[in-house]
Structure 1
């Protein structure tokens, strides 16, 4: 017999949510086969069985919060049964050890779709499973449903009982995922624990767009990856961080930690929320390597394949709200980092060029920063350098 235990995930992750059981009681499992998927603050993690056998018991429900080191399933000896086979009938309690209501409805309980833990709790509380209204749209009774039924106020035995509240379709409630809860919590913490300020500038994208247009076909044929704007901005950010090192720092107690590496986080929007994997050692990568890394991370993010290593250790973040049409925003700092660059949509508008007015493709950019570490001189200088490099992209090519 073997226990399925929540493993050590990462230094900052102590718990997760059971997202999906990949095996059910009675099913066979091979050694090294995935048995459950956990959703953590940062990524989804699949846990394997260390032994071959049959799943005997699941000790946590889908949606339950579990901690590192917690036993969540039991795998025993045996070859198991196919998932579609009928579940083995549970032994019913005797009159001496079970309340009468549960015994009187034993047949109905057997027909009711419920998890083993829910059945056990219902027996202990003397609750008829058939009387429970489960939240699960498939009708499966879970522990939470049993507990909610047990604590629900009983209707008074008078004709004057109030009519139940009817859902008229005006609102829809849905439970926040663990990742969305964590995003909300951390963004609020950043707002409350930093002296965040945002400075803005605008970039004339004419030259970089022209260069990209000239080089994109040749670039793709040579590197099998498309030339986008993110590699230009990543290169510009790295150059600016080297000139303004306090933008590539964080606070640790009463110390400022200056980072001598350049792992640039690239915000990626997924169905589960915003994630920020890192382009590691961006200063050592050329344009093609940066574009390849960004594409790989984006695919992994949308397929829920990001690892803990992909998500930790970043020194600065770039977020591009322009892909959704955002004209201007004030991005919120990412974790303990002290700077984040916000890119926005490119919009053609009239600008003064010398003594003339011309229509140019312009982008607003925003730098949010922690004023405890960075003063106006560094923040404005950093953003101005990014602007100058994007407006003169040949300098980036020559410096890469």
Structure 2
């Protein structure tokens, strides 16, 4: 018999939530096979079985909080059943002991009728929980997500399976009727562990820093023209697509070298000036915003920066980011413009002293050499910790980024 325990992932991670079981009680498990996905406040981890055999007990349901070292499943010697037949077979057919089955199906209040088609339905823990409570077959739910993931809203919209209607309650006094809530008007969804962590840390930053935001705008004409002229040649010579993020990253690195306190952090009563340039790039995922880090951006060329960002974004979407991908950034860039944001005040990331916000490119009338012209303009926002950075440095930093982007040839020389 082998116990499946929650592994140690990092010193700062002490617990997680069961995101998804990919094996069921009675399934055959091979040594090293991925059987359950664990969601932590930083990354999702795939837990494997150290032994081959049959999964006989599942001791934690999807959505449950589990601690590092906690036993969450048991694998015993045996051949087991094929995964697909096990999914379609009635509970009695599983070869696990009766006691183990009782642990694996702890919600007798509603029939568990998930995945009767024999195929694994991709669904969030909240959606699975709601489906169990309402007696809904997840395989019959039509998801809105184009990738086929069933969310709690899809289950709620599908309706409930036929169950005994609750008996009518006695008429309530008028005073109580005024506070009666129509459950159909509100969908309650528990915050994921990662969303709880994001909320906690953003609140901590707001409460523990003297955060201010300064704005400027950049004329994107020259960057867009240079990119248009060189993107095909760039792709042919490097195999990478030339985007805007490499220009912004290079401009930020050059400005950080000129204004080192923007690349600093407070540790106790000391200011630590970072002599490295690890730039975090905010990436939006289904579970929330993550900020993987482009290491040593000052040593990378445009193609290497574009490749690093593309690789990190893909890992984020595929839930493959490791702790090393998220730790140690010295400055962050976030691009709300991809969602249509015209202007915002971004919140700093962790212990960093500043964050740069990019926004949508909009054609606006501007004055150029005494004439009014229509130019592609972007608002830039620099949120910074006023305890470290004075107004002179914050405005100077943002002005430097603007000037380099408006003169990209100078960017090549200064970065």
**TM-score > 0.5, shorter chain as reference:** yes
> RMSD over aligned Cα, in angstroms?
2.8
Q: Does the 8 Å contact 2:57/2:101 carry over to 1?
A: no
Between the aligned partners of 2:238 and 2:409, the Cα distance in structure 1 is 19
The question of 1:180 aligning with 2:166 is answered no
Write out per-residue CA displacement over residues 238-264 of structure 1, whole angstroms, 9 at most, x where no aligned residue: 111111111112122222222111111
Q: Does the 8 Å contact 2:362/2:377 carry over to 1?
A: yes
Between the aligned partners of 1:218 and 1:46, the Cα distance in structure 2 is 40
Q: Does the 8 Å contact 2:110/2:132 carry over to 1?
A: no
Q: Give the count of matched residue pairs.
A: 359
The question of 1:137 aligning with 2:131 is answered yes
Match of 2:74 in 1: 74
Between the aligned partners of 1:92 and 1:271, the Cα distance in structure 2 is 38
| Candidates 185, 206, 211, aligned match of 1:196 | 211
Between the aligned partners of 2:53 and 2:97, the Cα distance in structure 1 is 23
Q: Does the 8 Å contact 1:278/1:310 carry over to 2?
A: yes
Match of 1:47 in 2: 47
Match of 1:154 in 2: none
Q: Partner of 1:185: helix, strand, or coil?
A: helix
Q: Partner of 1:318: helix, strand, or coil?
A: strand
Between the aligned partners of 1:115 and 1:379, the Cα distance in structure 2 is 61
Q: Does the 8 Å contact 1:347/1:363 carry over to 2?
A: yes
Q: Does the 8 Å contact 2:336/2:359 carry over to 1?
A: yes
Between the aligned partners of 1:381 and 1:330, the Cα distance in structure 2 is 18
Between the aligned partners of 2:300 and 2:327, the Cα distance in structure 1 is 19
Match of 1:279 in 2: 294
Instruction: State how 1:310-329 maps to structure 2 within 5 Å.
Output: 310-329=325-344
Q: Does the 8 Å contact 2:19/2:39 carry over to 1?
A: yes
Instruction: Please report how far the alpha carbon of residue 135 of structure 1 lies from its aligned counterpart in structure 2 after TM superposition.
Output: 4.5
Change (3 A) 1:135 1:21: closer
Write out per-residue CA displacement over residues 145-184 of structure 1, whole angstroms, 9 at most, x where no aligned residue: xxxxxxxxxxxx9984759977463222222222212111
Change (3 A) 1:159 1:25: closer
Match of 2:236 in 1: 221
Between the aligned partners of 2:254 and 2:169, the Cα distance in structure 1 is 77
Q: Does the 8 Å contact 2:58/2:104 carry over to 1?
A: no
Between the aligned partners of 1:358 and 1:135, the Cα distance in structure 2 is 57
Instruction: Please report how far the alpha carbon of residue 392 of structure 1 lies from its aligned counterpart in structure 2 after TM superposition.
Output: 0.8
**Please, which runs of 5 or more residues in structure 1 have no aligned partner?**
94-113, 123-127, 142-156
Which consecutive segments of 4 or more residues in structure 1 shift more than 6 A? 89-93, 163-166
Q: Does the 8 Å contact 1:233/1:390 carry over to 2?
A: yes
TM-score by length of 1: 0.83
Match of 1:267 in 2: 282
Instruction: Please report how far the alpha carbon of residue 292 of structure 1 lies from its aligned counterpart in structure 2 after TM superposition.
Output: 0.8
| Candidates 383, 390, 396, aligned match of 2:405 | 390
Instruction: Please report how far the alpha carbon of residue 115 of structure 1 lies from its aligned counterpart in structure 2 after TM superposition.
Output: 6.4
Q: Does the 8 Å contact 2:57/2:104 carry over to 1?
A: no
Change (3 A) 1:140 1:338: same
Instruction: Please report how far the alpha carbon of residue 305 of structure 1 lies from its aligned counterpart in structure 2 after TM superposition.
Output: 1.5
Q: Does the 8 Å contact 1:58/1:116 carry over to 2?
A: no
Change (3 A) 1:158 1:383: closer
Match of 2:370 in 1: 355
Between the aligned partners of 1:178 and 1:159, the Cα distance in structure 2 is 37
Between the aligned partners of 1:10 and 1:24, the Cα distance in structure 2 is 28
Change (3 A) 1:117 1:92: closer
Change (3 A) 1:201 1:130: closer
Report the more deviating stretch, 157-166 or 263-272. Answer: 157-166
Between the aligned partners of 1:240 and 1:92, the Cα distance in structure 2 is 66
TM-score by length of 2: 0.80
Q: Does the 8 Å contact 2:205/2:348 carry over to 1?
A: yes
Change (3 A) 1:338 1:158: closer
Between the aligned partners of 1:115 and 1:381, the Cα distance in structure 2 is 65
Q: Partner of 2:313: helix, strand, or coil?
A: helix
Instruction: Please report how far the alpha carbon of residue 17 of structure 1 lies from its aligned counterpart in structure 2 after TM superposition.
Output: 0.8
Larger C-alpha radius of gyration, 1 or 2? 1
Change (3 A) 1:131 1:2: closer
Instruction: State how 1:75-224 maps to structure 2 within 5 Å.
Output: 75-83=75-83, 84-85=85-86, 86=89, 87-88=91-92, 116-117=102-103, 129=109, 135-138=129-132, 160=170, 167=182, 169-224=184-239
Change (3 A) 1:51 1:117: same
Instruction: Please report how far the alpha carbon of residue 185 of structure 1 lies from its aligned counterpart in structure 2 after TM superposition.
Output: 1.4
